[in-house]
Structure 1
Amino acid sequence: MTRGEHFIGLMSGTSMDGIDAVIVRFSDNQPQLLHSLALSWPETLRIRLSQLTTNDATTLRELGQLDLLCGQQFAEASLQLLSQAKMDAREISAIGSHGQTLFHHPQPPTRFSMQIGDPNTIAERTGITVVADFRRRDMAAGGQGAPLVPAFHQSVFHDPQCNRVILNIGGIANITILPENGRVPAGFDTGPGNCLMDRWTQKNTGKAYDKNGEWARGGKVNPSLLAQLLGDDYFSRPSPKSTGTEYFSSSWLDRHLQNHPRLSPQDVQATLLQLSCQSIANAIQLSAPGTQEVLICGGGVHNHTLVSALQEQLRDIAVLSTAQTTPGIDPDWVEAMAFAWLAKETLHSRPGNLPKVTGASHAVILGGIYPCGQNPSSAE
């Protein structure tokens, strides 16, 4: 591998709060985050995307338009990032674009995962080769197509003297288990992270999210509702497993709330926060006994009420952000960095999945490669 390669990573999660874009320099396979940018979705586009994820009835016209519009936004994020960094497109080996997930269905016999954000548009507008559509090759090999970040977590966060769990709290929460002895990592989606809390906050307060978990902190957890929510079959399934907001949806919550019609919205929010906390803590305690450190990344790291609740549940484990143990790995940018890394692995013909994590029958090279055309910066 050429020393000092630069890759762009693009990530928009299930929370749909915007596109994370990063430029990462890889030298001897070690990542260095050089520049980062968060680009909010245009509100009209965000609403259309959100409606599409909660309504199976759509048209081919709508799907095609949104694929193109998302591709344009991913390209814009890349161009703004390059401008901010004062870098030329020719300095970037490739863009790794996760795309925007619309639906994730990992169960047989018809496993599929749908992300949009046309990579052809990204390549054409930026003049940079794009690697995209990472999940479907793993699914073709019998895997869940998720989570895909554990291989990156292993390369960056493994400590031969410490049993670690990397916890990503996005719309959905997932863990990567990194044993100190170097055994193959394990990992899976634990269930809801921010998704239910965000949607309940939007519905009842009009705010995009519960900042620092302040609204939840003022409510009271309802033990009966919490037990009912934790009784969902997903939490007791063995790994490999993955899920999405199409499962842990507003309608899923509404069904459970039918048995609790008198609960105040704030008490529901407090219970949802405890659901995320308890399901994460249960997964760590059952699947990773002996864990010494939990390193948090993703937007949930900023929910201080949730992080404090996790520390209370995991009393004998240090709960930290990734930046506290690995300088330069800001928790807000870990997933985008992971897709820059996955693009690098694909370009160098190396597998990017971990079959033990996804359940695939074997390791595979992930994604499709969309070569750039003429570089816009060199066009006459």
Structure 2
Amino acid sequence: MVYAIGVHSGTAMDAIDTVLIDVEEGDGKDDITHVDSAEYSYRPETRQELLEVASNEQVSLEAVSRLNSVVGDEFGDAVLAFAEDAGIDLDEVAIIGTYGQTVRHYPRGDPPSTFQLIQEQIVAEKTGVDTAADFFVRDLAAGGAGAPMLQMYDYMRYADPDENRLIVNIGGIANVTYLPAGGDLDDVRAFDVGPGNMLVDATVRDLTDGEKQYDEDGERAFRGEVNESVLAELLDHDFIKRTPPKSSGRDDFGEYRMEAMRQSAADAGVEGNDLVATFTALTGAALAYNREQFIDGPVDRVVVFGGGSQNPAIMSGIEERFDAEVSVSDELGYRHELREVQGVSYIAYRSHRGKQTNVPAATGSHPVCGGSIARGQIERD
């Protein structure tokens, strides 16, 4: 049994999630058990600065350098608070894992590149625990898309011997993992499909002058009307129609990319709640398009994780477009908000053990052990 801690903040940057898991190695599949978890917040000024860096094409190197350390500080503090609140002895934790805060991701660049704000050395210094980060780079170097990166965890935790499952995570970006019934690791397929909550959240912030951060209970989407013509135009986005492997982020659907989409919608008379409704419909439509075009096998159940699973308007759009049972993950005993942070803790465990962290069938690379590890303790000479 090995304990690992995960600390994570997604593209929405709305929280710092922490989790403790224990891992029991098995014959072919590991047993991953949730022990405890907690949610903490960025300082308001930190979140605002992060959104600005992630949302603008041009940013200062000084801001990036400073935030790199700030994220390390706040993630380290979150782990310390979690350990105190949950009564965790950090001496018993083998590894802490984190993606940091992704602000740029260019898997098709020349050369491919990605950048996550995190100084894992700071987390290791604060906690005294080995800390793994920087998982995407090795997969990119091996010819892959770098992300999504949790398919090893999905396979270990959610694959079912009798049910063909499509695991859907809706954060800022939506991604899928296809787990055929009784399949092995080579049968797994996974990729980003397009925007999750990102366009909706940004629109709601604009409409409320920052007072609201998201469309609570899909209220605005339900009050608005989907413009099918604009939806079809949005669905024609290059990334949505691109053949996998593929991974995305704010570089495709962030605020500075959204302006052209919003202007096109405005030209068609689509604004306010109608724009929220249309962007909301895009999430389900992009999922359905990618399932139809790029996943050959049958789907018995769609299991939805992430913040988007709590938006009834998004869920309704998925249910309308899939001929399968659609479930919020909580209905199956998997907490919707914990997949990513549990996943990164497990990937960190595998990195710590020198084991494969990626799924080549998902990212398009070859097997690698990703992650850079900052040592929490040293042997003195």
Query: What's the TM-score once normalised by structure 1's chain length?
Result: 0.94
For residues 119 and 230 of structure 2, what CA distance do their matches in structure 1 show? 41
Match of 2:199 among 189, 196, 199: 196
For residues 334 and 148 of structure 1, what CA distance do their matches in structure 2 show? 12
Match of 1:270 among 277, 280, 284: 277
1:1-380 alignment, distance < 5 Å: 4-28=1-25, 29-183=30-184, 184=186, 185-205=188-208, 206=210, 207-259=212-264, 260-261=266-267, 262-288=269-295, 289-314=297-322, 316-325=323-332, 327=333, 329-360=334-365, 362-373=366-377
RMSD: 1.5
For residues 43 and 69 of structure 1, what CA distance do their matches in structure 2 show? 13
1:6 partner SS: strand
**Are the counterparts in 2 of residues 173 and 192 from structure 1 also a CA contact under 8 Å?**
yes
**Are the counterparts in 1 of residues 235 and 282 from structure 2 also a CA contact under 8 Å?**
yes
**Are the counterparts in 1 of residues 150 and 343 from structure 2 also a CA contact under 8 Å?**
yes
For residues 179 and 280 of structure 1, what CA distance do their matches in structure 2 show? 17
Shift, 1:287, TM fit: 2.8
**Are the counterparts in 2 of residues 24 and 32 from structure 1 also a CA contact under 8 Å?**
yes
Shift, 1:256, TM fit: 2.8
For residues 92 and 251 of structure 1, what CA distance do their matches in structure 2 show? 40
Shift, 1:374, TM fit: 7.2
For residues 56 and 71 of structure 1, what CA distance do their matches in structure 2 show? 23
The letter of the residue matching 1:24 is I
In structure 1, the gaps of 5 or more residues are 376-380
**Are the counterparts in 1 of residues 192 and 246 from structure 2 also a CA contact under 8 Å?**
yes
Query: What's the TM-score once normalised by structure 2's chain length?
Result: 0.93
The letter of the residue matching 1:60 is L
For residues 342 and 96 of structure 1, what CA distance do their matches in structure 2 show? 7
Percent sequence identity is 33
The letter of the residue matching 2:178 is I
Partner of 1:378: none
2:337 partner SS: helix
Assess, with a 3 A threshold, how the Cα gap between structure 1 residues 364 and 370 changes in structure 2: closer, same or farther: same
**Are the counterparts in 2 of residues 220 and 267 from structure 1 also a CA contact under 8 Å?**
yes
For residues 258 and 123 of structure 2, what CA distance do their matches in structure 1 show? 37
Shift, 1:342, TM fit: 0.4
